[in-house]
Amino acid sequence: MRRAASDTAPAPVRRPKDRKARIALAGAELFCERGYHGVSVDEIAAAVGISGPAVYRHFPNKYAILVHATREVVGALLAATGQPAANSADGLLDDLLRALAEVAVSRRRVAGLYQWEGRYLTPEHRQEFAASMATLVGRVAAPLRELRPELTAGQADLLVNAALSAFGSVTTYRATGTDTEHLLTRVAWTLLRTDAPAVPPRRRPAPEDTPATGPVRPASRRELLLIEAMRLFHRHGYHAVAVEDIGRAAGMQASSVYRYFPGKADLLAAAYYRATDRLTGATTAAIADASDPADALHRVVRAYVDFAFGQSDLVAVYLAENNNLPDRDRHELRGAQRLHVEEWVGLVRAVRPDLPAGDARVLVHAALNVVTDVGRLGRFDSTAGYDTWTARLALAVLHA
């Protein structure tokens, strides 16, 4: 007896209803891990377990995935802070900070989109992202100003951004503390209670086509190429800059660039080694001059702030472009970065011997992130003591 066709035909394969969200999540994780330009649509598809063409049923291109993923990250933060239950200002603020800590830790593999990969958004989408972040900052700043009426709107926003930076630091490391969410909430409270600075003036940035070296140019062409490469990588992103652009900015032909560096990746690696060497030297000198561990910790923080404010292009590229380094250099430089963090961890634990090592690492990463994020908000302007205040913020984090 023949079986009916319905008995032998395979059951139709149904696409999951959340496939679009899965694609966006996989894209976000890969963008954060390897950089936007280091990921293809086929690789995103493979991470989801589908074919490359199947992705295009949900997204027209890779950029659309980035936009969707960025909206998802910000949307999660806004959803978590949309309806806090507490009535008092301090209770409301505590609810908001706990919610933000929970989202940051639970989405740590994708939250880094807010910090670096968002550079690849178009002006329209960057404006959308900025508006959403302004809404988030406003939600936290409102109860903060109730508790601290002496704060101006600008000061409250700065403190809230510092707290958000501490939460965002979880994207920069894999280790965890004994209770990372609780620890980050405590750090955020510490930052919001810190004395606020006079808000630095918002100086207009130099036009993109203006060389950063000013009227006095380095005598060394190699040095000039490094300076101009860092400026261009910082402003446009590594992949948007060609060797010809670097040569033009330095006043030479592209062929001349290759006399000093075999390729663009070698320019990037040279900048990383330079940043690592300078930071290591500054840290070593700070510790050598210290009278005790507390003094050493203070000096090391100050040295890092001075480095970040004095070499802002170099620091920004150092933090954002490591995925574009050649494999050997990336491995070596990440090892140097870990050693720098462990130097800080050792000093923190010397000052606070009861603090578990995992908690100390969480605090160190939060402090480092606060310096670079808060510095960037003030355009690394050291006038009116903004750099000194930034150092105080970092030290407050380490003692939270």
Query: DSSP H helical segments within the chain, as ranges?
Result: 5-8, 19-34, 41-48, 52-55, 62-80, 89-106, 123-147, 153-168, 180-192, 221-236, 243-250, 254-257, 264-288, 293-310, 312-320, 327-351, 357-377, 386-398
pLDDT tens across 226-264, in order? 999 999 998 888 888 999 999 999 999 989 999 999 999
Name the band, by pLDDT with cuts 50, 70 and 90, for residue 207. very low
The angle at the Cα of 50, spanning 48 to 53, to the nearest 5 degrees, equals: 125
pLDDT of 199 higher than 80: no
Give pLDDT, residue 1: 42
Q: Which residue has the tokens 């300078």?
A: 278
Q: Please, what sign has the CA dihedral across residues 84, 139, 369, 320? A: positive
Burial class (CB in 10 A: 0-12, 13-18, 19+), 9: exposed
pLDDT surpasses 70 at 386: yes
What's the DSSP call for residue 20?
A: H
Distance, in Å, from the CA atom of 61 to the CA atom of 30, rounded to the nearest integer, reads 15
Under DSSP, the state recorded for 384 is G
Global pTM reads 0.87
45-84 pLDDT, tens digit per residue, is 999 999 999 999 999 999 999 999 999 999 999 999 998 7
Residue 24 has pLDDT above 90, yes or no: yes
**Higher-scoring residue by pLDDT: 2, 25:** 25
Contact between 137 and 161 under an 8 Å Cβ cutoff? The reply is: yes
Question: What torsion do the CA atoms of 68, 69, 73, 78 make, to the nearest 10 degrees?
Answer: 10
Question: Tokens 């951004």 label which residue?
Answer: 161
